[in-house]
Amino acid sequence: MRRITGIVALATALTLGVSAPALAAPTGSTGVTGSTSSTVVSSSSAAPSKSAAAKKAAAAKAAAAKKAAAAKKAAAAKKAAAAKAAAAKKAAAAQAAATAASTPRQLTATAAGPTSVVLAWKAPATSGRPAPAGYTVTVVSSDGRPVGRTVWVRTPSTSTRVDGLAAGATFRFEVRAWTRGVASPAARVAYTTAAAPVDLGTAVFAVTDGRIVAFPTVDSAPVDVAAAPASPGGYDVAANGDAVVLDSVAGTLVRHPATQAGPVTLATDLVGARELHVASKGTAYVLTAGGSLVAFGADGTRRTVEAAFPSTPLQLDVRPNGDVVVLYTSVLRTYPAAGGAPTESVFTQGTTRLNDIIAGAGTTTYYEANSGGAVGLQFWSIDDGSGVSSGITSTTDRTTYAAGGYGLNGSFYALQASQFCLPFPSPNRPPCTVDLASKDIVVTSASGVRTVVPATGVALQSESRPGSITADADGVLFVGLAGGATPGLWSFAPEGGAAQLVEAGAFTDVKVVD
């Protein structure tokens, strides 16, 4: 029974493919078990010998393939290196044979916008060998450090535009011609971009202590603009804040940009010129000592609008729409902003005892005059342009001293004193004392509607020259007083009330821009 059990166990192990433990033959066995075991072991040892041979053959084949690939790669690399060396040798030979062009000529820089410039030049006088393939334009800062921008311009072009420069900075541009990797000497030009625009908001200008100053905002400190011009010159301000100054003694007309960039001289031959006014778009109009009307454009151009008038022109102003008005004798001549022939109308007031005119909207003209005679009354009135006496009306509602000025909102303002007195005594009149303290403001709209608002806190500086006033687009009134009881730069709210001091001191020629 033990022997049968052993054979069954071995057979089971072989059938399942599991390594069976070695079984010792029982004593007295016939050897059947040993014979079977020998056959199994012999069959098992033949399979590994065949697998090793196959692996060895595969390894030999892979090694041969790898060796062939390496040889092929080495050959390709050797060929590429040889080609590269040949190309480098050829390029070196070509470069050695090339000769540089001479310096590009007549390099210029022209503004193409606040932070853009167009560079233009002429080809070198000597082109080199072979002819240049193109140019490099390098942007260099004012202190010589590269900005990091180089533009390639292919021939035959000889210009390029550079955008995105910093505002208010100076740059140097270098242009070189290139011939097969050989650069010409550099042509150089310097250029300064416009300063960044300054938003002045409601800016107030005035003359004080011999200087023109500007208050960029009403509550800011004053900024020095320029020296006040010699009399009878003057200054005016464009809508963008540029101040134009006429010095009739020196004969100069100079624009001072709102950006605080350097001043620009527009003319040097205006000795004796008496009148200056600037249109909203920046064109400056001047009445010269010789009696001609000359315009100076914002771009620096000069144009004679009128060479001579029938009689000496006395007054000049510009209407809100840009029309230019010149007064001579008793005639107002208007030059339309849109161009075309001038028109004329009768100025009923005439020029006798006339102090000043202010050209309003349409055909309306405001004027300051003196009644003459013993009274010597100074007053502001309106001429509607009809050419008849009925077209003359007063800007005030009572007899008094008044300072007058035009506002950016199209209304005319008269700041009135409290008490007027006739300058000669009369036994039939009670005693009278002049009181220059302000009482109210009369506002006359462009359509002729009048509004009176209270105004206290300041006093007109004198009976004959009461002060300088103007108003912004919101109806805020600004008053400049150079003397009297309350010198200074003052403001009134649109609804009137008590004056607010903007700056202490003596102020004249007040102007405002929005």
Name the most confidently modeled range: 108-122, 177-191, 315-329, 342-356: 315-329
Query: What are the residue boundaries of the structural domains of the chain, listed by start?
Result: 1-38, 105-192, 203-513
**Tell me, what's the pLDDT at 242?**
93
With a cut of 50, say whether residue 4 has pLDDT above it.
Answer: no
* Calpha distance 363→389 (Å, rounded): 15
The proportion of the chain whose per-residue pLDDT surpasses 70, expressed as a percent, equals: 84
Task: Over range 390-403, report the average pLDDT.
Answer: 85
Distances in Å between the Cα of 289 and the Cα atoms of 68, 267, 277, 408, 499 are 102, 14, 15, 30, 40
Task: Over range 63-67, report the average pLDDT.
Answer: 84
Continuous segment of H or E residues that includes residue 44: helix 32-97
* Calpha distance 126→265 (Å, rounded): 39
Q: What is the pLDDT of residues 441-487, one digit of tens each?
A: 999 998 889 999 999 999 999 988 899 999 999 999 999 999 999 99
* Calpha distance 382→446 (Å, rounded): 11
End-to-end CA distance of the chain: 126
**Tell me, what's the pLDDT at 22?**
40
- Residue 91: pLDDT band (50, 70, 90) is low
DSSP labels for 405-441? EEBTTS-EEEEEEEE---SS--TTS-----EEEEEEE
* 513 contact partners, CB below 8 Å, separation of at least 6: 200, 202, 203, 205, 237, 238, 239, 240, 241, 408
With a cut of 50, say whether residue 328 has pLDDT above it.
Answer: yes
**Tell me, what's the pLDDT at 35?**
37
- Which residue did the predictor score with more confidence, 159 or 73? 159
**Tell me, what's the pLDDT at 247?**
95
* Calpha distance 345→324 (Å, rounded): 13
- Residue 93: pLDDT band (50, 70, 90) is low
With a cut of 50, say whether residue 15 has pLDDT above it.
Answer: no
With a cut of 50, say whether residue 46 has pLDDT above it.
Answer: no
With a cut of 90, say whether residue 246 has pLDDT above it.
Answer: yes
With a cut of 50, say whether residue 19 has pLDDT above it.
Answer: no
Token pair belonging to 371 = 């009644």
With a cut of 70, say whether residue 265 has pLDDT above it.
Answer: yes
**Tell me, what's the pLDDT at 31?**
38
**Tell me, what's the pLDDT at 199?**
52
Pick the CATH number of 105-192 from 3.20.20.70, 3.40.640.10, 2.60.40.10, 3.30.565.10: 2.60.40.10
66 burial type by CB count under 10 A (0-12 exposed, 13-18 middle, 19+ buried): exposed
> Any idea which fold 203-513 has?
Neuraminidase (2.120.10)
Average per-residue pLDDT for the chain: 83
**Tell me, what's the pLDDT at 489?**
97
With a cut of 50, say whether residue 29 has pLDDT above it.
Answer: no
